[in-house]
């Protein structure tokens, strides 16, 4: 996901998210990806009968959460942790849980976070900079296999072989240390004609970010825990931004609704414990895409537990 606005993170499809969570019922809800607090604020302002719990792994979200706490007091509670850990929080059974995957514009557009190749900044990309290793260290030390997994599997970059070779050849040269120098290395070595609409480093940067943050494992770990936390009639609503995220959500929803998880599975005897509310994923309308370009690839899926 890319952000055009440096100061805020504009919430995507907030009305549709609120509709699928059915916030009008009131009660306890969880925003698993607080970010800039855009969705949380929208929920709290428009639905006075809800109490909202919120989670984000980024320590910088704490300040923004404190500002909402000032406004909404006991109606709002924030936890700085990963969403795969929500089972360990003492939360009540919930009427709805929301996920808005990926990074926020606030993270992407802050040069000091080292996410974007638009800046001359140390390549970092960690959503929680207090844990794990920065992307530059990963590039310098990961095995060929780990690099392939990041760039081929998480980045879905067709020219992954060439890029992995480039990384291995350029270790120790300084080129892997900075976001702009790493992007330039890729652009200089891969013909621009293959990348008509995007910068040649776009997919590689996406893959690196997903790998550094263990994003797909986080989603795989979080969905079953979230489902367990839902009360009967509770709803799970997820916004995905690329096919890898969306596939995990879709498979999980199919599994819970007793369907085959994908076209390779011929038959399912899993019990049906939920119903899918979005036969096709909801997407932003053209007006929203016009005003907030970064939402263009968003897909919303919703599930209701029996
Ligand atoms: C797209 S932003 C959410 C934006 C938010 N809905 C808003 O309106 O401001 C995603 C946020 O989720 C957080 N995040 C991503 N993966 C996470 C995880 N596994 N655990 C906790 N937070 C995560 C990121 O740090 C980021 O702040």
Quote the pLDDT of residue 22: 98
Quote the pLDDT of residue 191: 83
Tell me, yes or no, whether 29 and 148 share the same domain: no
Cα–ligand 1 centroid distance for 1 (angstroms): 12
Q: How many Å apart are CA 273 and CA 286, to the nearest integer?
A: 35
Index of the ligand 1 atom closest to the CA of residue 239: 1
Q: pLDDT below 70 — which residues of the chain?
A: 1-7
Q: Is 83 in the pocket of ligand 1 (CB under 6 A)?
A: yes
Quote the pLDDT of residue 48: 98
Index of the ligand 1 atom closest to the CA of residue 35: 27
Q: 147 lies in which domain range? A: 128-212
Burial degree of 108 (CB within 10 A; 0-12, 13-18, 19+): buried
- For residues 119 and 111, the answer to whether their CB atoms sit within 8 Å is yes
Q: Is 38 in the pocket of ligand 1 (CB under 6 A)?
A: yes
Index of the ligand 1 atom closest to the CA of residue 219: 19
Cα–ligand 1 centroid distance for 273 (angstroms): 27
- For residues 219 and 245, the answer to whether their CB atoms sit within 8 Å is yes
Tell me, yes or no, whether 154 and 75 share the same domain: no
Burial degree of 143 (CB within 10 A; 0-12, 13-18, 19+): exposed
In the chain, the number of structural domains is 2
Quote the pLDDT of residue 195: 82
Index of the ligand 1 atom closest to the CA of residue 40: 8
Quote the pLDDT of residue 129: 98
- For residues 31 and 54, the answer to whether their CB atoms sit within 8 Å is yes
Q: Is 56 in the pocket of ligand 1 (CB under 6 A)?
A: yes
CB-facing half-sphere around the CA of 62: CA atoms within 13 A: 8
Tell me, yes or no, whether 248 and 300 share the same domain: yes
Name the residue with the closest Cα to ligand 1, atom 8.
38
Identify whether 135 is part of a domain.
Answer: yes
Tell me, yes or no, whether 219 and 206 share the same domain: no
Identify whether 278 is part of a domain.
Answer: yes
Q: Is 103 in the pocket of ligand 1 (CB under 6 A)?
A: yes
Tell me, yes or no, whether 170 and 221 share the same domain: no
Name the residue with the closest Cα to ligand 1, atom 12.
33
- Alpha helix (H) residue ranges in the chain: 14-21, 38-46, 61-72, 105-108, 135-141, 144-148, 160-169, 179-189, 202-212, 215-229, 243-256, 286-291
- For residues 239 and 249, the answer to whether their CB atoms sit within 8 Å is no
Identify whether 86 is part of a domain.
Answer: yes
CATH code where residue 199 lies:
1.10.150.170
Coil, strand, or helix at residue 231?
A: strand
Identify whether 51 is part of a domain.
Answer: yes
Residues 6+ apart with CB under 8 A from 27: 49, 50, 51, 94, 95
The CA-CA-CA angle for residues 237, 239, 240, to 5°, reads: 135
Q: Is 60 in the pocket of ligand 1 (CB under 6 A)?
A: no
CATH code where residue 60 lies:
3.40.50.150
Tell me, yes or no, whether 288 and 301 share the same domain: yes
Index of the ligand 1 atom closest to the CA of residue 222: 19
Quote the pLDDT of residue 2: 37
Identify whether 223 is part of a domain.
Answer: yes
Q: Is 58 in the pocket of ligand 1 (CB under 6 A)?
A: yes
Identify whether 8 is part of a domain.
Answer: no
Cα–ligand 1 centroid distance for 245 (angstroms): 13
Tell me, yes or no, whether 37 and 170 share the same domain: no
Q: Is 33 in the pocket of ligand 1 (CB under 6 A)?
A: yes
Beta pairing partners, 279 = none
Quote the pLDDT of residue 3: 38
Q: Is 57 in the pocket of ligand 1 (CB under 6 A)?
A: yes
pLDDT digits (tens, 9 = 90+) for 101-156: 999 999 999 999 999 999 999 999 999 999 999 999 999 999 999 999 999 999 99
Q: Is 255 in the pocket of ligand 1 (CB under 6 A)?
A: no
Identify whether 115 is part of a domain.
Answer: no
């Amino acid at each position: 996901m890319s952000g055009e606005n440096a100061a805020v993170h504009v919430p995507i499809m907030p009305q549709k998210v609120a509709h699928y969570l059915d916030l009008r019922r009131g009660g306890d809800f969880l925003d698993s990806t607080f970010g800039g607090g855009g969705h949380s604020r929208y929920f709290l302002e428009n639905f006075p009968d809800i109490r909202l719990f919120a989670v984000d792994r980024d320590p910088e979200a704490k300040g923004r959460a404190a500002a909402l706490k000032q406004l909404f007091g006991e109606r709002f509670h924030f936890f700085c942790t990963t969403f795969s850990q929500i089972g360990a929080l003492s939360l009540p059974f919930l009427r709805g849980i929301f996920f808005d995957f990926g990074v926020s514009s606030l993270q992407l557009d802050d040069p000091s976070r080292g996410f974007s190749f638009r800046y001359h900044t140390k390549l970092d990309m960690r959503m929680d900079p207090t844990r794990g290793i920065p992307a530059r260290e990963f590039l310098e030390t990961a095995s060929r296999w780990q690099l392939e997994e990041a760039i081929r599997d998480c980045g879905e970059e067709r020219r992954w072989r060439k890029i992995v070779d480039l990384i291995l050849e350029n270790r120790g040269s300084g080129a892997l240390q900075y976001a702009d120098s790493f992007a330039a290395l890729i652009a200089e070595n891969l013909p621009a004609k293959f990348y008509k609409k995007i910068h040649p480093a776009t997919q590689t940067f996406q893959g690196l970010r997903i790998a550094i943050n263990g994003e797909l494992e986080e989603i795989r770990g979080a969905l079953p825990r979230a489902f367990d936390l839902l009360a009967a009639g509770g709803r799970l609503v997820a916004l995905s931004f690329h096919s890898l995220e969306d596939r995990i959500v879709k498979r999980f929803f199919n599994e819970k609704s007793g369907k085959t998880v994908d076209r390779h599975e011929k038959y399912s005897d899993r019990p049906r414990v939920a119903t899918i509310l979005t036969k096709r994923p909801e997407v932003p309308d053209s007006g929203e895409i016009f005003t907030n370009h970064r939402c263009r690839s968003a897909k919303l899926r919703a599930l209701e537990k029996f």
